[in-house]
Amino acid sequence: MRMTAEGDRGSDRRLLFLTGPSRNRLALRQFLTDEVGEVEVVYNDERLDHLLSSRRGTYDAVLVDLPPGERVYLCARLRSASDAAVLVIGDPNGIDAASCLDAGADDYVLHPDRVHEVAARVRARIRRAPATSGRTRILEAGGVRMDLDRHEVEIDARSVALPLKQFRLLEMLVANAGQVVSSRAIIEHMWGPLERVDRNTVQAHVARLRQTLGDEDVGRRIRAVPGIGYTFPR
């Protein structure tokens, strides 16, 4: 997959990682650095006001990895001070997910050990954020070109109209071309982390996407990985 942006490169993405020194996220931090962009770590919120006031708008996303009592408060502070996408690393039971989302979080990550999915969701939230003036966000892979701001799809330079759900499904696959995207990651991208959607629904949407693409070779190249999810070639 290749993503281009007028006046911007993927490696220029900047993430703010709010965490605690006792929370072991070294593997996640390194993976985000490799896959998304520069990661700046803050171990408490003492410098947060300064960071947000002096560098407002320069962070593409903020990842909040703090105890339950602090997460909701910080989501509210971040939403009032920045337009960056806010993702919360929460508990597997999602006990405070609704509170964090209501306070301003854009996503709630239930399984931070799945670093590929976390990175994919960070990228997805960055893509879905309001476009910065002068940027055009483009995804390209396997003969598909997607203009995320104009909601346009081209296959071998021919325009193809897709409904919103199919567009977002294809976006997830193209953005992670060459990797297996789990059904759970697709569900959370298309419906959100709290929706109870099963794999059969995902399978039905994949079938509809293939049908919409018709005889296009790209439709046949969306491959199912039994028991896991789907993959799309680079």
The pLDDT tens digits for 49-78 are: 555 554 444 678 889 988 877 888 788 778
Cα–Cα distance for residue pair 110/219, rounded to 1 Å = 31
Fold held by 137-231: Arc Repressor Mutant, subunit A (1.10.10)
Domain range 6-128, CATH class: alpha beta
What is the per-residue pLDDT for 176?
82
What is the per-residue pLDDT for 7?
40
Q: What is the mean pLDDT of the chain?
A: 78
Average pLDDT over residues 37-46: 72
Whole-number percent of the chain with pLDDT over 70: 77
Cα–Cα distance for residue pair 130/188, rounded to 1 Å = 19
Residues 6+ apart with CB under 8 A from 73: 103
- Dihedral through CA 136, CA 165, CA 124, CA 6, nearest 10? -10
- Dihedral through CA 123, CA 127, CA 133, CA 137, nearest 10? 100
Q: What is the pLDDT of residues 144-156, one digit of tens each?
A: 898 877 888 998 7
Maximum distance among all Cα pairs of the chain, rounded to whole angstroms: 57
Cα–Cα distance for residue pair 59/55, rounded to 1 Å = 8
**Domain ranges within the chain, ordered by starting residue:** 6-128, 137-231
Q: Per-residue pLDDT for 12 more than 60?
A: yes
Q: Per-residue pLDDT for 193 more than 60?
A: no
What is the per-residue pLDDT for 131?
47
Q: Per-residue pLDDT for 117 more than 80?
A: yes
SS3 letters for the chain? CEEEECCECHHHCEEEEEECCCCCCHHHHHHHHHHCCEEEEECCCCCHHHHHHHCCCCCCEEEEECCHHHHHHHHHHHHHHCCCEEEEECCCCCCCHHHHHHHCCCEEECCCCCHHHHHHHHHHHHHHCCCCCCCCEEEEECCEEEECCCCEEEECCEEECCCHHHHHHHHHHHHCCCCEEEHHHHHHHHCCCCCCCCHHHHHHHHHHHHHHHCCCHHHHCCEEECCCEEECCC
Q: What is the pLDDT of residues 78-87, one digit of tens each?
A: 877 777 889 9
Global pTM reads: 0.51
What is the per-residue pLDDT for 87?
92
Determine phi and psi for 167, rounding to 5 degrees. -60, -45
Residue 217 buriedness (CB in 10 A; 0-12 / 13-18 / 19+): exposed
What is the per-residue pLDDT for 229?
92
* CA dist 161 → 12, 124, 155, 164 (Å): 31, 21, 11, 10
Specify the residue for token string 């794999």. 199
